[in-house]
Structure 1
Amino acid sequence: MKLWIAFLLVSLSIQAQTNTYEISFDNAVHHEAVVKATFPNIKSNTLRVEMSRSSPGRYAIHEFAKNVYGFKATNAAGELLEVKRDNPYSWIITNTDGTINIEYILFANRGGGTYSQVDATHAHLNMPATFMYAKGLQERPIEITFDAREDLDWKVATQLKHEKGNTFSAPNLYYFMDSPTEISDYKAREFEVDGQTIKFVLHDPGTEAEFDAYWDKVQEIVLQEKAVYGELPKYDYGTYTFLACYMPNVSGDGMEHRNSTILTDTETLANGGMKGNIGTVSHEYFHSWNVERIRPADLEPFQFDKANMSNSLWFAEGFTSYYTNLILERAGIISAEEYVKSLNGTFNYVWNSPALEYFNPIEMSNQAPFVDAATSVDPVNRENMFISYYSYGSVLGLALDLSLREKGLNLDDFMQLMWKRFGKTEVAYTDADILNTLADYAGSDFAQNFFENYIYNSKMPDYENLLASVGLKLEQDTDKAYFGASFKETASGLEISKNTFKGSPAYEAELDKGDVITAIDGIEMTSNEVFNQLLDEMNIDDMLEVSFLRFGNELKTSVRLVADPAYSISIDKDAKNNTVKAREAWLAKKS
């Protein structure tokens, strides 16, 4: 009897310290949700509640408070409490009896990995964009009830722990904020892997047969990514949940979380999504190891009230990007030829970028708060000073994998070692830890050389020989002429649509974004087709007389053409047997 009383007292104590939330969607058609929260047992004279300014998996500031209105606070007796403001994202509430209730309206109409969306089709909730939190109460457990619209057949899907009905819980604020939720009339599939459940929730207007075909691909991805690391992570509550929303009203995105991921796109499975969306599945699931558990130390703890900067996104995001299409090939979703062809765009974007002279991969990672879904109104010069850490890390992952394979090693086993040291143990790593782990795996000289040349500097690996080692060719067309500008067609001519690349013929001729080219060598530039036909007839070092409009003025300049710097990666049909076997081993399905 005494033990039962003690258990009851502990349970009551936990309840007294639990923050509770409720969210309803009566005005979903106008993208509104009503959020209520209760913070009990408040000891201080005031309580500060605030909206997050950043979100797990994103690195920029988002100012979610801009979508909050109708705020009010009451005590346990229902009496209105005094509220003061000292910044745009906080509310300071006077405490009168130890309990503080808040209520507000949230406008939400962007379905993706960062924001929330509420409409007649679903409630798609990213928690930092939806729920206020109490400063200083981050370690309290949280309980939330979703008032799902029964008239719309809505059901709740989330990585939160299910308690009863539509009530779920989280052990603390961080887990709560890291738990996106899809509430809709969704379909679901699941399968068991080594005693854990992999679940796929799909909000899509398509058929069950379409879902079955897509689900087959998802299962192969799960198994191939498990094979890289040798085991699944230990998912909290034994389940990993894909939250996929392929609807015309959402925005294209993917966002990893500890035991789930958000997948959104306007392409439904019947409208291109069967092929177009599967790469995001591969990328985001790989994150359940690399970034969620193999975790950069500079992202711990994650700060909800400011931008989060990391040195390691070239590894966390970039190496994950390297594996994205490689896993699709190993899983039989794309062919070896399609995989090799997919390398070209990223390779050219990175190695023909003028930004290489400004930042190395670590410094590119530091740029994330300015580029990762960040918004601003002033023009920027990204074409010349930034390379995405996704892409930069991806081509370095390729170089490292092929370099290791020349030594009889491979990137899979290195990633598995990173998993055992930093992921499975959940000990956050630094860039130095990656270097030291690579040294232990492949030798100190190898690791130092790789980091000194390609991570701490921006040198280009010897891709020609690396690719040849797996029976691929790296080529450039030295006879093809290059101008160096992107155009959009207008009534006046071809408008330069992006900043011209530093060092390109167009750049050297002082042509700039916004200039409208009206004629070249007397030929009117009425379309991209006309321009491309003219360029195809030109040779290296030819001079072009260019007429263009700038700020309403008619101007002229001369452009000297150079060789096209674009690379081409392809399968070498004449490769030797040993390199063909090396390629097959690299791309082979893993068991």
Structure 2
Amino acid sequence: MKIPFTLFTILFALTTFGQTNTYKISFENAVHHEAAIEAIFPKLTMDTVSFRMSRTSPGRYALHEFAKNVYGFKAVDGKGNLLKIHRPNPYEWEVTGHDGSIKISYILFANRGGGTYSQIDETHAHLNIPATFMYVSALSDRKIEVEFDVRKDLNWKVATQLPLVSGNTFMAPNLYYFMDSPTEISDFTLKSFEVDSKKIQLALHHNGIEEEAYEYFEKVKKTVLEQKEVYGELPEFDYGTYTFLACYIPNASGDGMEHRNSTILTSTRSLADGGMKRNIGTVSHEFFHAWNVERIRPQSLEPFDFEAADMSGALWFAEGFTSYYTNLILCRAGLISPKEYVEGLAGNFNYVWTSPARQFFNPIEMSYQAPFVDAATSVDPVNRENTFISYYSYGSVLGLALDLSLRQSGLNLDDYMKLAWQRHGKKEIPYTIENLHTLLNEYAGKTFGDNFFNKYIYQSEMPNYATLFESVGVVLKQKKEEPYFGAYISISEDDAKGTIKSNPKIGSPSYNSALSYGDVITNINGVPFSKGQRLADYLKLFNQGDSLLVNFSRFGNTKTTTLVLTPSPSYSIKLMEDIEQKPTGNMLKNRKEWLKNE
């Protein structure tokens, strides 16, 4: 989230308003996931003061309704007299009759340790600020101080991007900065290093050993330094420090969430047994956001609204291009091999380009879906298999196509990102999609820029990946030998029946055969499933192109239909030398410039 944060802003707030709202949070009942919160709001001039819980959180686009975890709310004036409270809606408490000062208190229940919610137990107090603290919108310019009453018996310490006042009291220059400042309170390990007079630190809460922490921190350092190469410099962190808040503990929820000068990294995976390699990908993704999204900021997310869903058509760039760089950076840093990186491209590639959803929405419109899919919840079934492609994945494969296309002309995506950084991010001038289009025209020429945006951003066409991959000695090959069904089937270990667990994809054999979610297939052509059998192995018993008789039940009624298997629309992506093809010297040169680690 972009914070309107300058020295002038701070001085204006402190000299013109001169008031400070203070919070205190304590955790005596952490075993039952509760925190006790108090806050004092002095020198109030309005008759009615509206206290709110946020409905969303920086980096999220959907509603989360944090008020549902608040109870025991009380308000008193400066003399301790109870004040009248009115609830005009589920997320607001209106207080009247005060004497110019109001002290509120309430209990927060919190038990989800990720990038959006808070979690309180005897392992840590993992605090996302919008999920934790009430606020007053009308006082958003006021300075804030917050005291974290840590559990000394648990050896807790405080890690946050908030600047320290003293002891365990920290400061925010305004509400926006406060809301964007997640805080980890636990018995964590702290490691740091300096780059260009800026401190990068890792607050690591895990159950592992010191050797694992050291090894992981070395990987974090390599990732940070490699990302700096893309933009040519680190951002100017507001207080000179960037903090990774990493919780790798069994009670965490897998997540990552970027913030202006910090990021949350959570996983149930420890650093042992392969977890280190899997967790570093989140580090790469979230730190890239320090430039792309936090400072190279979509105009559509300005200002960030804490009271409504936040929608942007630029997430294919903000999230998707960041996703493209996530593993590319790890490859350049030597943390994954070129073979791992290239073959790993297939997952997103197949997800995007085999989806029927492109006939309904382009990448901009896919981005508009974020309030419905970004950790959003609903109880009614949806048809995402046919109507939605994640803007993370869609943008990632478009970033790949743009990078390889630019490289055919002696250019590259790194320098385009540098241009976006210099024009928008470094100056903190929010961009529009039209700005991105204009920048590409300037960098690569109008014909190139118009072609890319008109075909692949404003429309949903597919680039010529076979040619693009060939330029770097990579082969894209359709898996025609594999039969295609078009829906996910779970084969029971009990009765060896196959239940369709996804909506069949439009145009697939299962869709054309009028099969549906929830249908239970007993056999095809009289051949039963084996218990626990993989669908791919089962389908290989039949010939593609043959008309097959499917016996199934729907809502308890026995039915039959015919189905014709077709070749798989999926592709494999491999280095030429791995399939006994010899790349040319120019291909290898292009690959080396692309991956930068060979």
**TM bucket, shorter chain:** over 0.9
Contact 1:201/1:244, CA 8 A, preserved across alignment: yes
Alignment partner of 1:241 out of 226, 240, 243: 243
In structure 2, how many angstroms separate the alpha carbons of the residues matched to 1:533 and 1:122? 46
* Stretches of structure 2 lacking an aligned partner (at least 5 in a row): 1-11
Partner of 2:263: 261
Contact 1:246/1:273, CA 8 A, preserved across alignment: no
Runs (4+) of structure 1 exceeding 3 A deviation are: 10-16, 530-534
Change (3 A) 1:109 1:530: closer
Q: For 1:60-79, what aligned pairs fall within 5 Å after superposition? A: 60-79=62-81
Partner of 2:536: 532
Partner of 1:554: 558
1:52 aligns with 2:54: yes
In structure 2, how many angstroms separate the alpha carbons of the residues matched to 1:353 and 1:235? 40
Partner of 2:568: 564
Q: For 1:41-120, what aligned pairs fall within 5 Å after superposition? A: 41-120=43-122
* 1:480 Cα offset (Å): 2.8
In structure 2, how many angstroms separate the alpha carbons of the residues matched to 1:470 and 1:11? 54
Q: For 1:166-565, what aligned pairs fall within 5 Å after superposition? A: 166-490=168-492, 491-492=494-495, 493-527=497-531, 529=533, 531-565=535-569
SS of 1:86's equivalent in the other structure is strand
* Stretches of structure 1 lacking an aligned partner (at least 5 in a row): 1-9
Change (3 A) 1:416 1:570: same
Contact 1:47/1:135, CA 8 A, preserved across alignment: no
Write out per-residue CA displacement over residues 362-399 of structure 1, whole angstroms, 9 at most, x where no aligned residue. Answer: 00000000000000000000000000000000000000
Change (3 A) 1:406 1:16: closer
Partner of 1:587: 595
In structure 2, how many angstroms separate the alpha carbons of the residues matched to 1:575 and 1:16? 67
- In structure 1, give the amino acid aligned to 2:312: S
- In structure 2, give the amino acid aligned to 1:365: S
Write out per-residue CA displacement over residues 91-132 of structure 1, whole angstroms, 9 at most, x where no aligned residue. Answer: 000142100110000000000000000000000000000000
Change (3 A) 1:12 1:372: closer
In structure 2, how many angstroms separate the alpha carbons of the residues matched to 1:14 and 1:454? 49
* 1:580 Cα offset (Å): 1.2
Contact 1:518/1:526, CA 8 A, preserved across alignment: no
Bigger Cα displacement from structure 2, 13-22 vs 270-279 = 13-22
1:578 aligns with 2:582: no
Change (3 A) 1:16 1:79: farther
SS of 2:461's equivalent in the other structure is coil
* 1:534 Cα offset (Å): 3.5
TM-score normalized by structure 1? 0.97
Change (3 A) 1:589 1:416: farther
Change (3 A) 1:429 1:496: same
* 1:14 Cα offset (Å): 7.6
Contact 2:491/2:534, CA 8 A, preserved across alignment: no
Write out per-residue CA displacement over residues 511-559 of structure 1, whole angstroms, 9 at most, x where no aligned residue. Answer: 1111111111112224452643332233321122111121111111110
Write out per-residue CA displacement over residues 7-43 of structure 1, whole angstroms, 9 at most, x where no aligned residue. Answer: xxx9997895111100000000000001111111101
Partner of 2:5: none
Contact 1:494/1:526, CA 8 A, preserved across alignment: no
Write out per-residue CA displacement over residues 484-533 of structure 1, whole angstroms, 9 at most, x where no aligned residue. Answer: 22112333411111111111000111111111111111122244526433
Change (3 A) 1:125 1:468: same
Write out per-residue CA displacement over residues 323-363 of structure 1, whole angstroms, 9 at most, x where no aligned residue. Answer: 00000000000000000011000000000000010000000
Change (3 A) 1:378 1:439: same
In structure 2, how many angstroms separate the alpha carbons of the residues matched to 1:572 and 1:457? 31
- In structure 2, give the amino acid aligned to 1:180: P
Bigger Cα displacement from structure 2, 526-535 vs 477-486 = 526-535
Matched residues, percent identical?
A: 61
SS of 1:191's equivalent in the other structure is strand
- In structure 2, give the amino acid aligned to 1:129: A
- In structure 1, give the amino acid aligned to 2:409: K
Contact 1:16/1:40, CA 8 A, preserved across alignment: no
SS of 2:499's equivalent in the other structure is strand
* 1:149 Cα offset (Å): 0.4
Contact 2:13/2:141, CA 8 A, preserved across alignment: no
Change (3 A) 1:546 1:412: same
Bigger Cα displacement from structure 2, 412-421 vs 574-583 = 574-583
SS of 1:77's equivalent in the other structure is coil
Contact 1:422/1:428, CA 8 A, preserved across alignment: yes
- In structure 1, give the amino acid aligned to 2:554: R
Bigger Cα displacement from structure 2, 576-585 vs 248-257 = 576-585
Contact 2:309/2:371, CA 8 A, preserved across alignment: yes
Write out per-residue CA displacement over residues 165-186 of structure 1, whole angstroms, 9 at most, x where no aligned residue. Answer: 0000001000000000000000
In structure 1, how many angstroms separate the alpha carbons of the residues matched to 2:536 and 2:275? 32
In structure 1, how many angstroms separate the alpha carbons of the residues matched to 2:375 and 2:13? 42
Aligned residue pair count: 581
Change (3 A) 1:444 1:16: closer
